[in-house]
């Protein structure tokens, strides 16, 4: 198949998520999963409604690319990537990389509990102090509590004392100050939780739509309070978008939400984190 670039482990993980499958699997398993997803989201089901056709077309393209990626992965007999984005085990039959080509930059894994990853900007409770940068997260095996390591800070901090700062969510418009020249554009933790729920329970689409509208409304108020018109405009646009989806049927609503979450993931989840 023709590709602009060779699929990476991040591409494979995203493809597995989009098709709702887990490795190991074969071509038949990929085909069955793809047919099930496309049957729900195909643009032909939305003829006459330009907005729904566009959302369904976006999702269908993503599903087609996911199928191609997994088929290619199986054909190459590559090791499946770990669920948390760990480094794949080295295979002795793999060729050495071309010396003139720089190695691909690693994508920092996302903590499944906090939604944080290396490079995120945060504040500590009471959330009005200096902006700090996340170095990583770790789990205390004794009580399963999650701790966040911060750049230039000697000790890790419990995750319940950490909150994202200087960011805006492209899916729901939620945001946080302080106002900065270049706020981070990344899905908020609530959207990361909702996309997992939407995959597991499609019948929650209506509740998730209402939650997105509520978060957008709160984001608009917060952005106005810190005087950032750009964040306020983004939150206002997401609130209007969520409101327009209110009359949509269950399948249309799920397709539109998955499309929004997929776009948010593409903008952040596969992009290398900022240098600490």
Alpha helices in the chain (DSSP H): 9-19, 27-41, 50-75, 189-200, 205-225, 229-244, 250-268
How many domains does the chain divide into?
Answer: 2
pLDDT at 99: 43
Q: Which residue has the tokens 């909702």?
A: 194
Classify residue 245: in a domain, yes or no.
yes
**Do 147 and 238 fall within a single domain?**
yes
**Do 125 and 262 fall within a single domain?**
yes
pLDDT at 51: 65
pLDDT at 45: 57
Secondary structure letter of residue 140 according to DSSP: E
Q: Is 75 exposed, middle or buried (CB count within 10 Å of its CB: 0-12, 13-18, 19+)?
A: exposed
C-alpha span between 148 and 124 (Å, rounded): 11
Q: Could you give the maximum distance between any two Cα atoms of the chain, in Å?
A: 59
**Do 23 and 126 fall within a single domain?**
no
**Do 71 and 156 fall within a single domain?**
no
Classify residue 80: in a domain, yes or no.
no
Q: Order of strands, edge to edge, in the sheet holding 167-168?
A: 175-176, 167-168, 184-185
Classify residue 205: in a domain, yes or no.
yes
Classify residue 92: in a domain, yes or no.
no
**Do 62 and 144 fall within a single domain?**
no
The CA-based angle 199-38-20, given to 5 degrees, is: 30
pLDDT at 53: 67
Residue span of the structural domain in which 218 resides: 121-268
pLDDT at 90: 33
- List, run by run, the mean pLDDT of 10-residue segments along the chain (276 residues): 69 84 87 82 59 73 87 89 47 39 55 83 89 89 88 90 91 90 87 84 90 94 91 92 87 83 71 53
pLDDT at 257: 87
- For the record, the structure tokens of 70 come out as 């997994």
pTM exceeds 0.85: no
Classify residue 131: in a domain, yes or no.
yes
Q: Which residue has the tokens 């990361």?
A: 192
**Do 24 and 149 fall within a single domain?**
no
């Amino acid at each position: 198949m023709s590709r602009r670039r060779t699929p990476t482990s991040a591409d494979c993980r995203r493809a597995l998520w989009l098709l709702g499958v887990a490795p190991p699997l074969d071509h038949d398993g990929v085909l069955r999963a793809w047919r099930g997803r496309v049957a729900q989201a195909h643009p032909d089901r939305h003829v006459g409604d330009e907005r729904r056709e566009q959302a369904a077309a976006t999702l269908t393209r993503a599903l087609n690319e996911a199928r191609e990626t997994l088929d290619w992965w199986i054909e190459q007999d590559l090791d499946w990537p770990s669920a948390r984005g760990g480094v794949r085990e080295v295979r002795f039959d793999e060729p050495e990389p071309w010396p003139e080509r720089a190695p691909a930059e690693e994508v920092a894994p996302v903590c499944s509990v906090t939604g944080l990853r290396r490079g995120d900007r945060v504040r500590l409770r009471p959330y009005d102090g200096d902006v700090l940068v996340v170095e990583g997260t770790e789990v205390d095996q004794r009580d399963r509590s999650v701790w966040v390591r911060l750049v230039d800070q000697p000790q890790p901090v419990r995750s319940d004392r950490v909150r994202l700062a200087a960011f805006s969510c492209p899916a729901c418009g939620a945001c946080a100050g302080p106002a900065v020249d270049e706020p981070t554009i990344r899905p908020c933790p609530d959207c990361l939780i909702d996309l997992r729920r939407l995959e597991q329970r499609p019948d929650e689409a209506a509740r998730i739509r209402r939650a997105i509208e509520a978060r957008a409304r709160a984001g608009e108020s917060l952005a106005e309070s810190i005087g950032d018109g750009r964040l306020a405009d983004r939150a206002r646009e997401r609130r209007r978008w969520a409101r327009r989806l209110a009359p949509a049927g269950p399948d249309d609503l799920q397709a539109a939400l998955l499309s929004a979450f997929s776009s948010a993931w593409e903008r952040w989840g596969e992009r290398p984190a900022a240098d600490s």
